[in-house]
């Protein structure tokens, strides 16, 4: 036997590469590769709607699909450069939604990172995404160092004087995956149209390989809960509130600050007044206390955090369901008429309720028949918090009848071959999903 001995070296390989494989990207976004054109559309339109709402402007969004790829433009304030920097840092998960409880669209938390990686994964060698805003165009090239086995992201920034407002994000679609894009036409255009059904203030222009259509907003001044609106303490349970408090403490530690408990309290709906803040602090004994004082050597002081949440709820009023935002019968009727429904068959339903956990909920449904001469099959439009769904998220609804919502419609003689249009939308501050990609809602 040889006396030679191999002294093995411990090699380190970047796990960032896992983010850039087809398997991992599917796990991140919850959809197979054939659905990625719609994934890109949904995430980009969600971001554009949020940006416009935060700026207080009626959203005007343009979607252009051509041989180069998918581009989505809006009339919002324009994505800041430091936000682009955060998107390109694949070592952290960055989100302004994740720790808050609110009726947010999407809230996946890493959506833009998945879109930056998507062209590369489709191509297998290189990918490119352009972000144009605030007079600059960021050309982002995505590749992999074959030796170190880690992503290599290169960004070139150029002047774009013609981009003075809004944001345009373009995914350059690889030629090798062109069939995935062109084959997605019907479902892609339907998903885009679904956004106009769920958002009365949206004006949407679509250009699909030169075929251009435009849908005007029915209610440009339509009001809903905005991403920048304060959240309500009544939307938080103990677990959710502790997650937010911990996130603030960690953020302050990373930035060398330590906010006071009062600063946290005043961010919530109904607690912006000094009298309310004083009442909360006196009830909990936390006046002149910093958030870091809510910790001990083992983590958060659970009893203290619980008292704080209880006091905040006591000093504020619950949010009524209608304050979340109601799409409304008139808007939906207008869109159903555009879809060719016979309006004497149109039915609309609305439920405003507060559940056992104090969460306000708005559920809207609508039905329309497109007539015996219509050759189209059944169209189901579903959404949660004003974002259109790639697949029906209410698959567990009425599970005793089989495959959720679709099975319930079958039971009502509205099968897949019937020329009907059905809409189901739910708005709620806290939505529970069954999967990582947030494609299926838990129905209680």
40/130 same-domain check: yes
| C-alpha 161: how far from chain center | 30
Q: CA end-to-end span of the chain, whole Å?
A: 67
Contact 220, 79 (CB under 8 A): no
- Tens of pLDDT, residues 237-272: 999 999 999 999 999 999 999 999 999 999 999 999
Tell me if 53 is assigned to some domain.
yes
400's tokens: 């005793």
Number of domains in the chain: 3
Q: Quick one: pLDDT at residue 413?
A: 58
- Does the pLDDT value for residue 175 go beyond 80? yes
Does some domain include residue 442?
Answer: no
Q: Give the bridge partners for 64, in sequence order.
A: 71, 207
pLDDT digits (tens, 9 = 90+) for 56-78: 999 999 999 999 999 999 999 99
Beta strands, E only, 298-359: 299-300, 342-354
- Domain end, chosen from 152, 187, 215, is at 215
Residue 438 belongs to some domain of the structure: no
Same domain, yes or no: 60 and 203: yes
Least confident of 61-70, 247-256, 275-284, 411-420: 411-420
**pLDDT bucket at 402, cuts 50 / 70 / 90:** very low
Contacts of 308 (CB under 8 A, 6+ apart): 241, 261, 265, 280, 284, 286, 294
Let me know if residue 40 belongs to a domain: yes
Residue 297 and residue 339 share a domain? no
Residues 41 and 136 in one domain: yes
Provide the pLDDT for residue 161: 72
> Is residue 65 located within the same domain as residue 195?
yes
Bridge-partner residues for 388, per DSSP?
383
> What residues contact residue 250 under an 8 Å CB cut-off, 6+ apart?
none
Residue 9 has pLDDT above 80, yes or no: no
Per the structure, the complete domain to which residue 289 belongs is given by 233-314
Question: What radius of gyration do the chain's Cα atoms show?
Answer: 24
Gap between the Cα atoms of 100 and 98, Å rounded: 6
Three-class SS state of 94: coil
Q: Which residues contact 161 (CB under 8 A, 6 or more apart)?
A: 135
Q: Are residues 251 and 181 in the same domain?
A: no
Q: Number of helices and strands (H, E) in the chain?
A: 12, 15
Whether residue 397 is predicted with pLDDT greater than 60 in this model: the reply is no
Same domain, 308 and 357: no
Q: How far apart are CA 350 and CA 129, in angstroms?
A: 41
Query: 348-370, pLDDT tens digit by residue?
Result: 999 999 988 889 999 999 999 98
155 and 73, same domain (yes or no): yes
For residues 290 and 258, state if they share a domain. yes
Q: Residues 61, 166: one domain?
A: yes
pLDDT band of residue 409 (cuts 50, 70, 90) is: confident
159, pLDDT greater than 60: yes
Taking only the tens place, the pLDDT of each residue in 180-232 is: 999 999 999 999 999 999 999 999 999 999 999 999 999 999 999 998 899 99
Token pair for 233: 């303490």
Q: Is residue 227 part of a domain?
A: no
Identify whether residues 175 and 115 lie together within a single domain. Answer: yes
348 token code pair: 């609309």
Closest CA to 407 of 380, 383, 388: 380
- At residue 363, the 3 state secondary structure works out as strand
Q: Are residues 309 and 326 in the same domain?
A: no
Q: Which residue has the higher pLDDT, 160 or 40?
A: 40
pLDDT at 235 over 80: yes
Name the domain boundary from 314, 334, 355. Answer: 314
Nearest-angstrom CA–CA distance, 165 and 73? 10
- Structure letter (DSSP) for residue 228: T
Tens digit of pLDDT for each residue in 10-36?
Answer: 666 666 666 678 888 888 888 899 999
Q: Is residue 3 part of a domain?
A: no
How far is residue 105's CA from residue 67's CA, in Å, rounded to a whole number?
29
Q: What is the pLDDT of residues 370-382, one digit of tens each?
A: 887 777 778 999 9
Indicate the pTM of the whole model.
0.89
């Amino acid at each position: 036997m040889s006396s030679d001995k191999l002294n093995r070296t411990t090699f380190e390989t970047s796990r960032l590469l896992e983010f850039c494989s087809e398997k991992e990207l599917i796990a991140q976004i919850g959809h197979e590769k054939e659905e990625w054109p719609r994934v890109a559309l949904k995430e980009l339109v969600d971001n554009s709607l949020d940006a416009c709402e935060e700026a207080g402007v009626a959203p005007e969004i343009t979607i252009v699909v051509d041989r180069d790829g998918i581009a989505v433009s809006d009339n919002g304030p324009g994505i800041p450069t430091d936000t682009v920097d955060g998107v390109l840092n694949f070592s952290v998960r960055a989100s302004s939604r994740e720790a808050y409880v609110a009726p947010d669209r999407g809230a996946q938390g890493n959506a833009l990172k998945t879109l930056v990686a998507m062209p590369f994964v489709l191509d297998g060698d290189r990918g490119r995404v352009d972000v144009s805003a605030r007079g600059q165009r960021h050309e982002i090239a995505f590749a992999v160092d074959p030796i170190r086995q880690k992503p290599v992201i290169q960004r070139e920034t150029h002047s774009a004087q013609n981009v003075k407002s809004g944001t345009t994000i373009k995914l350059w679609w690889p030629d090798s995956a062109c069939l995935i894009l062109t084959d997605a036409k019907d479902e892609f255009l339907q998903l885009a149209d679904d956004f106009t059904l769920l958002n009365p203030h949206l004006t949407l222009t679509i250009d699909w390989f030169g075929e251009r259509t435009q849908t005007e907003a029915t209610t440009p001044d339509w009001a809903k809960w905005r991403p920048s609106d304060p959240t309500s303490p009544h939307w938080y349970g103990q677990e959710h509130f502790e997650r937010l408090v911990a996130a603030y403490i960690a953020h302050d530690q990373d930035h060398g600050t330590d906010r006071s408990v009062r600063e946290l309290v005043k961010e919530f709906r109904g607690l912006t007044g000094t009298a309310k803040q004083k009442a909360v602090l006196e009830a909990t004994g936390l006046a002149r206390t910093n958030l870091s004082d809510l910790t001990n050597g083992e983590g958060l002081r659970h009893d203290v955090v619980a008292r704080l949440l209880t006091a905040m709820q006591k000093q504020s009023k619950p949010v009524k369901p209608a304050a979340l935002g109601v799409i409304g019968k008139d808007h939906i009727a207008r869109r159903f008429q555009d879809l060719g429904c016979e309006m004497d068959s149109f039915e609309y339903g609305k439920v405003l309720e507060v559940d056992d956990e104090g969460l306000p909920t708005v559920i809207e449904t609508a039905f329309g028949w497109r007539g015996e001469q219509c050759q189209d099959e059944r169209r189901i439009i579903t959404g949660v918090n004003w974002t259109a769904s790639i697949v029906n998220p209410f698959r567990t609804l009425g599970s005793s009848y089989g495959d959720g919502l679709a099975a319930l419609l079958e039971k009502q003689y509205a099968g897949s071959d019937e020329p009907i249009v059905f809409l189901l939308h739910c708005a709620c501050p806290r939505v529970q999903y069954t999967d990582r990609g947030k494609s299926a809602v838990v129905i209680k």
